[in-house]
Amino acid sequence: MKTAIWRWRLHRALLDRAGLLWPFSKNKGKKRLLFIGERDSICQTQWFPFFFHRDELATRYNVELRELPISRFEDGRHPYRVEVDAVCFQSWLDLSPQSMETLARKIRETWPEARLGYFDWFAPTDLRYAEALNEHLDVYLKKQALRDFSQYNRVTLGDTNLTDFYARRFHLNYPETHFQIPNGFRDKLLLGTHFAFSDHMLPYFLCPFPKAENRSIDLHARIAVKGTEWYTRMRQEALDKVTGLESRLQVTCRGRVSREEYFKELFNSKLCFSPFGYGEVCWRDFEAMFTGSLLLKPDMSHLDCYPEVFLPYETYIPLAWDLSDFDEKVDHYLNHPAQRETIARNAFDLLGDYFRQQRFLEDTQPLLQRLGLPRVQP
């Protein structure tokens, strides 16, 4: 597995820094899957599982993978003018629906015979591009979605379920928004992997569970506050809850540190509080899990994600969205170390087993089938 991770990092360096693109092979028996994506670490986590398992995918599905930066696609500087069997693409969050549809049409015109998939890497749960993309796509992949699909028909204050909740909570003046979901779109929607399946997290989950004893930090919660109005109000409320405990607990919540120092702190922390960001699922959720720090987080029961790791009181501690039970739950799990370690270990083991058993290869089969890439019969 280490070899696959280093190969991914070499791929990133050669593509992102040197701009090197590798043509598909001339082997006519191979299927060709092209990823068109943004140059951003969050976006690239969606590609990582495929490139991590590229050898196994080649064996099981007889498929070759290539990646093309979206800027190179748009200006035509690439070697992928040959026949391609499937194209999966991303975009930035600020495209208008009209611009998104134009992009999808251009991809369709470039590879008219290819199956087309859209990889939604966005933090929010909304489906703002469903109407613009529906007629062009064979599959729409998202890393988290509302468990009750009927909620997508709701009118919200602001763009998302989070803007709606916090606008109402803090009496903010946000416009009503409704994203139209076309008939049949739900059948195209699939869940894809989240932040846990990334090159900087996966190696930690393959190590032994970190020791739980002798951790000196009671609560870890370095919380950035600056952002849009609703985000700032939400994050400030979370930070105020944390700082309210500083007089009686060992709390780490102020300032910025390097990633190395940040991880050292988490390995030395009993609890980690991970409030929502612009979406529910955050890097910090899984950083808490691989460091053996018990995750406290606003309740995630409304959400589906893959792998399903947010199991209340089994892999994390759910909090009320207004944080009214925050102090109580912090105190409880600080005073019950055996419960704390059991739940933290459950989360660590769930993801570690997922990676060791290579379950992605089976779980991605529905996506590949919709892209016209069936498994090769042995």
* Structural domain includes residue 49: yes
Do 142 and 232 reside in the same domain of the chain? no
Beta bridge partners of 303: 146
CA distance 98 to 226: 31
* Structural domain includes residue 256: yes
Do 277 and 365 reside in the same domain of the chain? no
Do 313 and 366 reside in the same domain of the chain? no
* Structural domain includes residue 189: yes
Taking residues 144-160, what's their average pLDDT?
97
Q: Is 313 exposed, middle or buried (0-12, 13-18, 19+ CB in 10 A)?
A: exposed
| CATH number assigned to the domain comprising residue 81 | 3.40.50
* Structural domain includes residue 271: yes
Write the pLDDT tens digit of every residue in 228-283.
999 999 999 999 999 999 999 999 998 899 999 999 999 999 999 999 999 999 99
How many folded domains does the chain comprise?
A: 2
* Structural domain includes residue 378: no
Do 337 and 362 reside in the same domain of the chain? no
* Structural domain includes residue 246: yes
Do 281 and 336 reside in the same domain of the chain? yes
| CATH number assigned to the domain comprising residue 332 | 3.40.50.2000
Do 43 and 190 reside in the same domain of the chain? yes
Do 293 and 366 reside in the same domain of the chain? no
Beta bridge partners of 139: 117
* Structural domain includes residue 220: yes
Do 138 and 38 reside in the same domain of the chain? yes
pLDDT band at 366 (very low <50, low <70, confident <90, very high): very high
Q: Backbone phi, then psi, for 10, in 5-degree steps?
A: -65, -45
Do 323 and 350 reside in the same domain of the chain? yes
CA distance 117 to 324: 41
* Structural domain includes residue 322: yes
pLDDT, mean over the chain:
96
Percentage of the residues of the chain whose pLDDT score is greater than 90: 93
Please, what's the largest Cα pairwise distance for the chain? 68
- Domain ranges, residue 276: 207-356
Do 227 and 332 reside in the same domain of the chain? yes
Which pTM was predicted?
A: 0.95
What is the CB neighbour count within 10 angstroms for residue 156? 22
Do 122 and 237 reside in the same domain of the chain? no
Do 191 and 267 reside in the same domain of the chain? no
